[in-house]
Structure 1
Amino acid sequence: MLLTVLAYAMIAVFMYVVMTKKMSPLSSLVMIPLIFTIIAFLTGSADITADASFVDSLGGEKLANNLTAIGPMVMYGISQTAKTGIMLLFAILYFSIMLDTGLFDPITEKMIRFAKGDPMKVLMATAIVAAAVSMNGDGTTTTLIVVSAFLPIYQKLNMKVMNLGVLIILQNTIMNLLPWGGPTARAMSVLNVGSEILAYLAPGMILSLLYVIFYVAPSMGRKERKRLGITNLTEEELLKLTTISDPEKEAIRRPQFFIFNGLLTILLIAWLVAGSFISAIEVPSLLLFAVGTILALMVNYPNLKDQSKRIGDNAGDAVQVVILVFAAGIFMGLFQGSGMANALAQSFTTIIPKQLAGFWGIIIALISAPGTFFLSNDGFYYGIMPVLAQAGARYGFDNMSMALASLMGQAFHLLSPLVAFIYLLLRLTGLDMGEWQRTAGKYALVIFIIFVVTIILMGHMPVYIPQ
């Protein structure tokens, strides 16, 4: 009981200090779970055997249920995010180098000329491109590509960068339900359902995409038009917007290698996407970006001093993101290893009155929102869903309806501070996490409603089963 109280209290304190900016994300990701884990051990409520994945990671090693277990918990959590952290390091360096070479300058120029001072066109284009790029299911790739292409446009037209960050996360949220995106594959494996689940999800996904492209983006566009107006830019003004005036930036541009850089980037992205479908050519993304970064440096900046300079100038952004990814790993390791995550999961099944058992599908959909926000997808689908699905079976709900219901909360999942790539998005755009979460959250709520209403109307999840 006490462990459950500590779990809820930890989440409440964590969200409070982040949303009110009392602590930085880095400090709160490490210190809040550490303090509550220490309290759990000192009160004797911690249970290091509760999380099966943590126990398996020990490889048979026996740990005492005391403060000495904190070290292995932290290492377990970091091991879960290490691959992502290393991949992000090379991915950020790669796209930063591509920005230095001027690879995205032609795209920026064409978009500025297309918009001609109309922010509505830029926002619509952002939503469409973000949806298209998100088809690979990888938030890191989507963020790097879309931000690299559009951030200079937003800055040059004095548009709100918040809109860019919100549109990217909304479109990636929707496309993340594709089977190769992660959560759907987990739901399919845990609940033993077939690929037909995608056909059941598709109507809600399509409606949500249309909602973002034809309502959210235009709504933002109208506000930006009101704030900035529609400026019919002259050729001279367009030229000024698209001309680099900083001599240092001009010096590191490499227009002579534009074709090489373009082909290399296309190859990297194509390989990432194709590897999701064809296992024979699947290569770890961190290796692809590592090789891509090295090739980009060798060709564009053959002088060793220039290579060191490019790495040094861009390493700051990469390190800022990577340390947050590792901090998120520490959070997960302590939360799961101490047993708080399991206690939270068990509480979900006990706080629901049995009189509401007939509404179990809707209840699971509602639980999946905080469940996938405060827990990793692995923690929720492998730790919580088997318990919830067993209860659902007793109430007459089949595995398909349970799988669909469990995926509804994905509308909010990518707003979670436990999602690694959002720190990349926030770092590149300079947005505050709390403000970004609040702004995107109101649109994510509508997407959640669209998801739930669609699967109910299509008959894939019963609203109520008489008990």
Structure 2
Amino acid sequence: MLSLIGISMILIIVILLVWGKASPIVAMIAVPLIGAFIAGFGLDEIALFFEAGIDKVLNVAIMFIFAILFFGVLQDTGFFEPIIKAMVRLTKGNVVTVAVGTAAIGMVAHLDGAGATTFLLTIPALLPLYKRLHMSPYLLVLIVGLSASIMNMVPWAGPTGRVAGVLDMSPVELWYPLIPVQLIGIVLVLALAFGLGVREKKRIAKMGLAEAAASSMSEADLQEALRSISSHGDKALKRYHLIWANALIFVGVLIILVAELLPAGYSFMVGLVLALVVNYPNVQTQMDRVKAHSPSALLMAAVILAAGTFLGIIDESGMLESIAVDSISILPAAILPVLHLIVGLFGVPFDMVTSTDAYYYALFPIVESITAQVGVASTSTAYAMIIGNVVGTFVSPLAPAVWLAVGLAGIDMGKYIRYAFFWVWGFSIVLVLLAVLIGVIQF
């Protein structure tokens, strides 16, 4: 009975999220509550489930709030603009160089872990360059999306934080073993960008535009691209003269995070305070900056807390354990020890049919419970599912940032999926297998 109710809850949440019939907050609060009542639990028991679930995700929610505020303020100051401008200048004259440079720019732009910001910074700046060289805008979105997905493993981005909340552990601690995978991923993205650039150059040559593709970007086009980068945000808030001070703050926060000198949430709190005081001494301006970025921060925190209620009910009620035990009796024994690997290898297709929240808050707990029963470490299951899925984030039509990217580039969503899907899935499979090879994913 508990298994049936638990599976029904998960399926209903996934269906509601995939088909857009309910927001993540509504789905992950209302459905588990109804499920708990059907299972015969009273209000006192549900209250205990809620408290246990919130305790699991509270630290992650706090980290997300202040990470989004911190990176939002740095974006306001124009901190990342000089790096992106330098890359645009360096990559203006050759199709292959532009493709590789796009990958590097995408990684830098996604240091804040926000997909929408990444596309807003990169696509308007690089699109004129792509048009000038007759390069496909579909290639632009694909490379930026792949680059952003590799950086999306950082603890203040969505996937790692969500999984850390489910496992009730520090996002930074969970992230450590992912660092080698990220480094490998960076090299692979640059290599793939190079290969795609060579392919694109051949395509342009076949069109009889080889001379145009080999020429440098005109000074007018270059200046227009640079202006596009500078135009992002409010000019009155830019603090280019404080870039070195902001660099010290940024690097300091990263060092504190990696060294775990302070809890992740507190690290971003301190970083936010320093960024506000250094860049905007005026109290009203400080409050305005916090207010400007609060909607994004609070929305993410609200989703995480809502997921906490779902996790508390499905775990503390015994539903998750019941699903795992019953699944073990049904699934072939040979599959159980490698179930997490199988799901990881199909992470990109899963991302096409499940939202990020459904994948990490509904599917992951089930797979983790099943594999844990046969001795697979929870973190190994987490890494398999993160690495397999994170690359698919920016090709899924269920991700709002992808629609933003498609709109900015002026391309068709369906055609983009056909153009990018197999490159993304193939990249994901290679990354998962390499993670197995270096021991990050174990059986």
> Structure 2 length as normaliser, TM-score?
0.67
User: 1:99 is matched with which residue: 75, 78, 96?
Assistant: 75
1:261 is matched with which residue? Answer: 246
2:424 is matched with which residue? Answer: 443
**Whole-Å separation in 2 of the counterparts to 1:88 and 1:451:** 26
Q: Map residues 39-438 of structure 1 onto 2, 5 A cutoff.
A: 39-41=38-40, 65-116=41-92, 124-125=100-101, 127=103, 143=113, 151-158=120-127, 164-170=144-150, 172=152, 212-215=189-192, 219=196, 232-243=216-227, 249-275=234-260, 282-353=261-332, 356-357=333-334, 361-363=337-339, 365-366=341-342, 373=359, 383-389=369-375, 408-412=384-388, 414=390
Taking a change above 3 Å as real, the CA distance of residues 21 and 292 of structure 1, as seen in their structure-2 partners, is same
1:60 is matched with which residue? Answer: none
Taking a change above 3 Å as real, the CA distance of residues 81 and 302 of structure 1, as seen in their structure-2 partners, is same
1:34 is matched with which residue? Answer: 33
Post-superposition shift, 1:253? 1.2
**Whole-Å separation in 1 of the counterparts to 2:23 and 2:142:** 19
SS at match of 1:23: coil
SS at match of 1:80: helix
Taking a change above 3 Å as real, the CA distance of residues 166 and 149 of structure 1, as seen in their structure-2 partners, is closer
Residue 101 of structure 1 contacts residue 300 of structure 1 at CA under 8 Å; is this kept in 2?
yes
Post-superposition shift, 1:153? 1.9
What letter corresponds to residue 424 of structure 2 in structure 1?
Y
* Deviation readout 1:337-374 (Å, 9 max, x if unpaired): 22221122112311124xx54x6544563367799945
**Whole-Å separation in 2 of the counterparts to 1:326 and 1:128:** 34
| Greater Cα shift, 286-295 or 308-317 | 308-317
SS at match of 2:302: helix
Taking a change above 3 Å as real, the CA distance of residues 441 and 294 of structure 1, as seen in their structure-2 partners, is farther
Taking a change above 3 Å as real, the CA distance of residues 85 and 124 of structure 1, as seen in their structure-2 partners, is farther
* Deviation readout 1:151-189 (Å, 9 max, x if unpaired): 41223334666764454335655999xxx99999x99x9
**Whole-Å separation in 2 of the counterparts to 1:31 and 1:232:** 57
**Whole-Å separation in 2 of the counterparts to 1:274 and 1:153:** 31
Post-superposition shift, 1:114? 2.7
> Structure 1 length as normaliser, TM-score?
0.64
Post-superposition shift, 1:126? 5.8
Residue 76 of structure 2 contacts residue 238 of structure 2 at CA under 8 Å; is this kept in 1?
yes
SS at match of 1:243: helix
SS at match of 1:116: coil
* Deviation readout 1:223-279 (Å, 9 max, x if unpaired): 8998xx96953222222332377698111111221211111111111222233xxxx
* Deviation readout 1:206-229 (Å, 9 max, x if unpaired): 876665443478559978998xx9
SS at match of 1:36: helix
Residue 328 of structure 2 contacts residue 336 of structure 2 at CA under 8 Å; is this kept in 1?
no
2:354 is matched with which residue? Answer: none
Post-superposition shift, 1:325? 1.8
| Greater Cα shift, 99-108 or 205-214 | 205-214
What letter corresponds to residue 243 of structure 1 in structure 2?
R
Tell me how many residue pairs correspond in the alignment.
388
Taking a change above 3 Å as real, the CA distance of residues 449 and 3 of structure 1, as seen in their structure-2 partners, is farther
2:172 is matched with which residue? Answer: none
Post-superposition shift, 1:106? 0.6
**Whole-Å separation in 2 of the counterparts to 1:9 and 1:127:** 42
What letter corresponds to residue 443 of structure 1 in structure 2?
V
SS at match of 2:79: coil
* Deviation readout 1:294-349 (Å, 9 max, x if unpaired): 12111211111221222222222222222122122222122212222112211231
What letter corresponds to residue 148 of structure 2 in structure 1?
I
What letter corresponds to residue 143 of structure 1 in structure 2?
G
**Whole-Å separation in 1 of the counterparts to 2:402 and 2:290:** 17
Post-superposition shift, 1:36? 2.4
Unaligned runs of 5+ in 2: 128-136, 170-176, 205-211, 348-357, 407-412
Residue 66 of structure 2 contacts residue 268 of structure 2 at CA under 8 Å; is this kept in 1?
yes
Residue 119 of structure 2 contacts residue 405 of structure 2 at CA under 8 Å; is this kept in 1?
no
Root-mean-square deviation (Å): 5.2
Residue 80 of structure 1 contacts residue 329 of structure 1 at CA under 8 Å; is this kept in 2?
yes
Residue 341 of structure 2 contacts residue 381 of structure 2 at CA under 8 Å; is this kept in 1?
yes
